[in-house]
Amino acid sequence: MVKRKFAFIFPGQGSQYVGMGRKLYEAHPEIKAIFEMADDILGFKISDLCFNGPEDKLRLTENTQPAILLVSIAAYSYMEMRSNIITKADFLSGHSLGEYSALVVSGSLKLEDALKLVRARGKYMQEAVPVGEGAMAAILGADDSLVEDVCLEVTKKWGYVAPANFNSPGQIVISGKIEAVNKAIELLKAKGVKRAVLLPVSAPFHSELMVDAGKRLHNDFNEINIKAMTIPVVSNVTGKPYENEESIKKLLIDQITKPVRWVDCVKYMYSNGVRDFIEIGPGKVLSGLVKRICEDVNVYALEHPSEIDIFLENLKQE
């Protein structure tokens, strides 16, 4: 019998919502302790922000990032605590911020350190470009090469814009100066692209405009002890696993200015035998993307204790 290969994948910014994590908090004292530890580490009640909002405060990048990380690790911890069936994934990965969750699960980063890092990361990314100067837009139904060519054309004539996320075939996000992003949308629509829409984000993430954020985060990493991974983690920057712990710091800093190559990440794991992708954390965004990248896979979105319990029970019976 061929062993099933599992990948645990972790969501990034955009998956947050008011109320997330509450059921996990109430499910078990050990999970409650994780939320209380995060409150102490960050110096404010991030647990209350997750459970009760307000939404506009939860949506602030410096709050969103540690909040999603916290809920993702709480969900993983609940699953680990309940299961003696699926103790270890074959691969881990995450979308942007979600890569930090993957590295915590791999044993490379301590949760306490990861919470501080992503809190700082969100703050630095927000402050790198003044509000109103940058933008991001989703381009739907276009070939990668067309989007890349249009971005190069616009950058030469009107200002910087570049692909930021390769999310799935026909779904690319671009990022850059607001005038350049709008011009790219205009040109892409003129070339037959049916949908190109501005996203409700506050900064041009995963672009060269984030260089200052990367430099600032570099200093924070100097205070962090990075350990060897116990499970391979697939990097957004390369679409391949980190080679060693020395590469983690470099690639996480590069990730701020480089595009998220989510298609490459999923295809790498698929090519190495993974047919079961388990999204752990708030929302179901990655489950949808994975299914569009590789149709013949199983996807599971696990966030609430009841979802995790049902999944584990079904797995036990297979």
Same domain (yes/no): 225, 288: yes
Q: What's the mean pLDDT when you consider all of the chain?
A: 94
pLDDT over 70 at 1, yes or no: no
| pLDDT score for 207 | 96
AA letter at 153? E
Q: Which CATH number is 168's domain given?
A: 3.30.70.250
The catalytic position among 15, 206, 207, 304 is 206
User: What's the confidence (pLDDT) of residue 255?
Assistant: 97
Q: Answer whether 0.75 is exceeded by the pTM.
A: yes
Residues 42 and 87 in one domain: yes
Q: Which domain holds residue 154?
A: 134-201
Are residue 268 and residue 150 in the same domain, yes or no? no
Task: Kindly report, residue by residue over 155-171, the tens digit of the pLDDT.
Answer: 999 999 999 999 999 99
**What pLDDT, on the 0 to 100 scale, is given for residue 34?**
98
Can you give the CATH number for the domain in which 26 is found? 3.40.366.10
Q: Which of 66, 64, 63, 67 is nearest to 116 (CA)?
A: 66
**Taking 70 as the threshold, does the pLDDT of residue 263 lie above it?**
yes
Q: Which one from 96, 101, 175, 207 is the annotated catalytic residue?
A: 96
Asked about 306 being catalytic, the answer comes back as: no
The C-alpha atoms of residue 54 and residue 141 are separated, in whole angstroms, by 35
For residue 118, what are the contacts with CB-CB under 8 A and spacing of at least 6?
Answer: 65, 66, 69, 97, 100
Statement to judge: residues 144 and 242 lie in one domain: no
pLDDT at 202: 77
pLDDT of residue 318: 74
Same-domain status, 108 and 142? no
> At 49, phi and psi to the nearest 5?
-65, -40
Statement: residue 2 has pLDDT above 70: no
| Percentage above 70 pLDDT, the chain | 98
SS3 assignment, position 83: coil
20 and 121, same domain (yes or no): yes
Statement to judge: residues 144 and 68 lie in one domain: no
**Is 218 a residue of the active site?**
no
Max Cα-Cα span within the chain = 60
Total of domains in the chain: 2
pLDDT confidence of residue 87: 61
